[in-house]
């Protein structure tokens, strides 16, 4: 029996502070509670070195980039605040599973797919930009669905009645 077997399965959930990520985290928590799994909530951010194309020329090239350690700390604090808020909202609804919070630097879909390599499920939110917005800006949900080795749940925005 591995350590992972003793602790139940793992559901990786991508969070970014958006309302879609909040709904994804709620779904991951409900699923983990039902199955006896734990949740690994991961906030992925693009580090300053990835901003080079936008900041490397013209008047913006003289702007100092943020300190990577400070940026990581800010992202982690924001992720913890969001997870704590969702925990507080759900604590009367069910027995909360173990929830780990972490941040990683990189491209969101790539990092989430990598971290979900040994997970039982990957859960992400969907902002609903539409086909054109997803093509132009990329789609984390689509990237996860196409490349993850585990089941992926993409939690959509609620539909107005």
β-pair partners for 157: none
Length of the chain: 161
Structural domain span for residue 34: 3-155
- The domain total for the chain is 1
What pLDDT was estimated at residue 46? 86
Phi-psi region of 36 (alpha: psi -120 to 50; beta: other; left: phi over 0): left
Looking up residue 106, the CATH number of its domain turns out to be 3.40.50.620
Q: What digits encode the pLDDT tens for the residues 87-146?
A: 999 999 999 999 999 999 999 999 999 999 999 999 999 875 555 544 444 588 889 999
For residue 134, tell me if it sits in a domain. yes
pTM summary value: 0.83
For residue 161, tell me if it sits in a domain. no
For residue 111, tell me if it sits in a domain. yes
For residue 160, tell me if it sits in a domain. no
Backbone angles phi, psi at 148, to 5 degrees: -70, 145
**Residue 16: DSSP 8-state:** -
Q: What digits encode the pLDDT tens for the residues 3-27?
A: 444 557 999 999 999 999 999 999 9
For residue 58, tell me if it sits in a domain. yes
What pLDDT was estimated at residue 136? 41
Q: What digits encode the pLDDT tens for the residues 32-65?
A: 999 999 999 999 998 876 655 555 555 555 566 7
Rg (CA), the chain: 17
């Amino acid at each position: 029996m591995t350590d992972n077997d003793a602790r139940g399965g793992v559901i990786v959930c991508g969070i970014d502070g958006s309302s879609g990520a909040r709904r994804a985290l709620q779904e991951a928590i409900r699923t983990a509670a039902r199955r006896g799994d734990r949740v690994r909530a991961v906030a992925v951010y693009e580090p300053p070195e990835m901003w080079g194309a936008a900041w490397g020329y013209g008047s913006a090239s003289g702007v100092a980039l943020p300190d990577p350690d400070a940026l990581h700390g800010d992202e982690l604090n924001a992720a913890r605040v969001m997870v704590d808020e969702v925990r507080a909202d759900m604590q009367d609804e069910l027995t909360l599973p173990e929830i780990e919070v972490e941040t990683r630097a990189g491209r969101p879909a790539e990092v989430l797919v990598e971290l979900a390599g040994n997970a039982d499920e990957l859960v992400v939110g969907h902002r609903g930009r539409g086909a054109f917005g997803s093509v132009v800006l990329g789609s984390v949900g689509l990237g996860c669905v196409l490349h993850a080795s585990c089941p992926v749940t993409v939690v959509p925005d609620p539909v107005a009645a």
